[in-house]
Amino acid sequence: MGVRSSFWLFVIKRLGISVFLLWGVATIMFLAARLVPGDVISVMLGEEAAADPVARQAMIERFGLDRPVPEQYYLHMTNLVQGDFGISMRTRGPVADELARAVPASLELGILAGLISAILGIFLGTLSALQRGKLADQLIRVVTVTGISVPLFWLALVALYVFSFKLQMFPGIGRLSPGVAPPPTATGMYTIDALLAGQLGTFADAFMHLLIPGAVLAVFTMTLITRFTRSAVLEVLNEDYVRTARAKGLTSVRILFAHVLRAAFVPIVTVIGIMFGAVLAGAVLVEEIFNFPGIGQMMFRSAVFLDMPGMIGIGLVVAVIYVGISFVTDILYGVIDPRIRVS
């Protein structure tokens, strides 16, 4: 049996597990929504109208709340599968429409933050491990401790003040400067859409708007990735096969890239996958401060307005992102480490 076919079997298996996980999350959210204390009907109708039994009854029937729970569950799930997340109580528009605008915005920001933190984190962590105990290592450790200790909202405000207000190096808040029209929608990510449409000016503007919030968002994850990379590389450096590589007469550059980092990548990929969750959590604060209309801001506002359909929609999107990331990490394990895909 070829290595290749067992690899695809592995991918299909993980995909099945992912679908199962999402179904579980959707079910739990459905049940949780029924268990939340408080009268949904009263909230929707307002106090005056809720006192009217006829209006109440009409509302209950309209939302199917008089049907048995299994039937409600069936409707809920079929709607979800068709992409119907219900009507937001805050915007009075479909939740799906708001998500379609917010998700690409956050994705754009999250990918940039992820790239910054992964690239810088792996670089600094490796440098720190190779220079163990020396000046560079000490400096990097000071930086990482600072990065973990500083509150994100404070950093966001200071960055906004220094770079946008004082130094005027970057535009302030939002996704685009006033007067710049959004590029034609293809992916919903302004930088990519602008590039696809060939609008370089719009691309630059959108990118500059991403850079400061992206960097702020990256700080915390970058420090953690740095620390994990450092310890992973240090561990691999002690392995027998690294000594073998040296005994074979390979150059130290080749040993570092082809042997050490390759082995250290398994733990590093795990951390980067988990860290994406931290990016999402951090996005709530950062998006609100930078007035960036992504899912973090939507989550914050839905929670403040007690917008149940909005929150369920975001909850599901977050679940999809998490499950998607763990799927990708699992596949990456298989690509990086042959022992996992064969066993």
- What is the Cα Rg of the chain in Å? 24
Minimum separation from the CB atom of position 242 to other proteins (A)? 8
Looking at the Cβ atoms of 130 and 281, the one nearer to other proteins is 130
How far apart are CB 269 and other proteins at their closest, in Å?
12
Give 84 or 137: the residue with its C-beta nearer to other proteins.
137
Can you tell me which of 13, 165, 243, 324 binds other proteins, judged by CB under 8 A?
A: 243
Q: In angstroms, what is the minimal distance from the CB of 244 to other proteins?
A: 5
Q: Is 92 among the residues that bind other proteins (CB under 8 A)?
A: no
Q: If binding is defined by CB under 8 A, does position 244 make contact with other proteins?
A: yes
Q: Does 134 participate in binding other proteins (rule CB under 8 A)?
A: no
Stretch that binds other proteins, among 102-110, 161-169, 204-212, 243-251 (CB under 8 A): 243-251
Length of the chain: 343
Distance in Å, CB of 268 to other proteins, minimum: 13
Distance CA 270, CA 257 (A): 19
CB of 114 to other proteins, least distance (A): 24
Interface with other proteins (CB under 8 A), residue from 259, 284, 312, 321: 259
Composition of the chain by helix, strand, coil, percent to 5: 80, 0, 20
Of the candidate residues 254, 257, 291, 324, the single one contacting other proteins (CB under 8 A): 254
Structure tokens at 228: 């994990």
> How many other C-beta atoms lie within 10 A of the C-beta of residue 198?
9
Nearest residue to 295 via CA among 209, 188, 223: 188
Number of residues that bind other proteins (CB under 8 A): 23
What are 4's two structure tokens?
């290749």
Long-range contacts of residues 334-341, Cβ cutoff 8 Å, at least 24 apart = 334/7, 334/10, 334/11, 336/262, 336/265, 336/266, 336/269, 337/266, 338/3, 340/10, 341/3, 341/6, 341/7, 341/10
Residue (105 or 263) nearer to other proteins, CB: 263
CB atoms within 10 A of CB 239: 14
Sole binder of other proteins in the list 1, 81, 247, 304 (CB under 8 A): 247
Enumerate binding residues for other proteins (CB under 8 A).
Answer: 3, 239-241, 243-251, 254, 258-259, 262-263, 336-339, 342
